[in-house]
Amino acid sequence: MLFNSVFFITVFLPLILVGWFALQRLENATYAKLFLLGMSLWFYGYYNAWYLVILVASLLLNYGCSVLFEKCRQGAAAKAVLLGGIFGNVGILFYFKYFNFFIDNCNYFLHTDIQLERIALPLGISFFTFQQLSFIIDRYKEDSPHYNWLDYACFVTFFPQLVAGPIVLHSEFLPQLQARQNRRVQWEGFFDGTALFILGLGKKVLLADVLSILVNAEFNNISYLDAFSAWITIICYMLQLYFDFSGYCDMARGIGKMMGFQLPENFNSPLMAVSVTDFWRRWHMTLSRFLTTYIYIPLGGNRKGKVRQCCNIMIVFLVSGFWHGANWTFVVWGLLHGIARVWEILLPKLRFPWQWMNRLCTGIFVTLTFAIFRSDSLEQAGMLFQKLFMGGNKNFFPAMCNVFLIPENYALRKLLSMKAPQYLNGLFIGCVVLLIGMALWFVRGKRAEQWIEEKGRTLRGLLCIATIFTWAFISLSQVSTFLYFNF
C-alpha cells in the first residue's frame, strides 16, 4: 500500500488512527497491539499476499533466536545461535535479492547457461532484515531484553517504516509501545505529525514525481543528450531521489507522531553537506548508524591505525553498495563513496578555505556518483559520463523540456497551441527552470520539523499546509511508487 494513494489517505489512515486510540482506552493493551499488527500486515500484503509469508518467516526466525538466547546466554551455544540468526537473515536476503544477480554473473564469467525463473523482490526486505539483525546482535551482547512475541511482532511490522525505513532500533520503538502515556491522543504531537505527513506528501507528489518526468524520459534517451542536458538530467535525479526518499521518511515519521511514536530522523539537509563525511552524517542516517554500530565498530573502527580504519571504511561502503541493490552500479557507487571517505581521512587539510566551495564540490561528487546509482548498467553509466564531459552542445535542452506535460501547465499549453504555438518551447523551458529553482530553494531551506515548530502553527503556516495537501491530493491520480521500494 502506498502513502501517496487516495485509499490510504481516506480509508486506511483514518481507520488505523480511530481503531488504535479506541482500543488503547481498554485496560488491556493487547487488543490495540493485535489491531496494529493486523493492520500492518494488511498494509504490507495489500498488493501481494505472498510477501507476508516471507515477512512472517523472517520474524519467526529472529524471535526464535531471541527465545534461544534466554536458554543459552553465553559461550559457544549463544555464539552458535547468533551465527545461525545472521546466516538465516543473510540467506533469506541473498536468495530474494541477490540470487538472480549471482546466477547472471556465473553465466557471464564462467560461460555457463543456468536458466532460472526471475525471483520477485519482496518490498522492504533489506530494511526489516537489518532491523532484526540489530536486534539479535544486541540480544547476543545482552544489550536487549527478551520481549513478548506480540511486542516484537509490532516492532518488526510497524507499517509506517516497514518498507522503506527509517531503520528503527528495538530500544527506540518498544519502550514507546509499552508506555502507558501513549494510550491517549497527544494533540500537539498529532498536529505536528499531520503537518509532517502533509509536507512529506508534498515533497513526493509535487516535487519528486514531477522531476521524475524529466529523469525517466532522459535516462531512456541518453544517446540523444548533449553535455548541458545530461547535467540537467543528473541534477534532476539527485533532487528527485532526495525529495522522494526524504518525503517518504517525513510521511512515516508523521504517521508515527500521530500515533504517539517518535521515529528516528533519517535526513538532515544532506545536499548542504561540505564533505562526503558530512554527507553521510546527514543522508539516510539510520543506515549509516547501523553500518557504523554493527559493522564498522566490530571491525575495529578507527582504533587500530589509519590503514585498518581505511580498510574498514571500504568494507562498510561495499556492504552499503550491495545493500542498495543487486547490480554492479551499486557496488561501484559504494566503492567511490568509500574512496572519497578514505581520501578525506588521509588528507584532511586538503580543503578549500570557503565553505561554499566545499559544498559545491561535494554536491558535484554526490550528483555524479548517484548518476551511476540510477543507471541500469555500467555500460549505460559510461555512456552517460561520456555525454556529461564530451557531449558537446546540440541545443537538446528545449527538446528535453518538451516532455514536461503536467496538469499545472495544461490550460496554458492548450491556449498557446491554438493562439501562439511558437511560444510553447518557451513555456516548457520556463516550467523546467522554475521547478529546478524551487527544488534547489527547498534544499537550502529549513527541515520540515523545524519549519512546523517555527511557522506551522501560525495562520499563514496553516494556510500553507492546507494548500499543499489540497494540491497534492488532487494530483494523486498520477500516483507512483517510492524509489526506495526497489532497495
Torsion of CA 62, 481, 102, 81, to 10 degrees: -10
Spell out a b/e string for 19-29, using b for 16 or more CB atoms within 10 Å of the CB, else e: bbbebbeeeeb
Q: What is the C-alpha separation between 177 and 182, in angstroms, rounded? A: 7
Burial of 210 (C-beta count, 10 Å sphere; 0-12/13-18/19+): buried
Q: Where are the alpha helices (DSSP H) in 119-185?
A: 125-140, 149-157, 159-162, 170-178
Gap between the Cα atoms of 30 and 60, Å rounded? 19
SS3 144: coil
Which DSSP string corresponds to 347-408?
-TT-S-SSHHHHHHHHHHHHHHHHHHHHSSSHHHHHHHHHHHHH------HHHHHTT---GG
- Active-site entry in 111, 146, 170, 324: 324
- Three-state DSSP class for 102? helix
Question: What is d(CA 230, CA 190) in angstroms, rounded to the nearest whole number?
Answer: 43
CA distance 317 to 232: 27
**Residue 64: how many other CB atoms lie within 10 Å:** 15
**How far is 216 from 251, CA to CA, in rounded Å?**
24
Q: Collect all residues with Cβ–Cβ distance below 8 Å to 460 and sequence separation of at least 6.
A: none
CB 70 within 8 A of CB 140: no
Q: How many helices (H) and strands (E) does the chain have?
A: 24, 0
Distance CA 93, CA 89 (A): 6
Residue 123 carries which DSSP code?
A: T
324 is catalytic: yes
The catalytic residues are 324
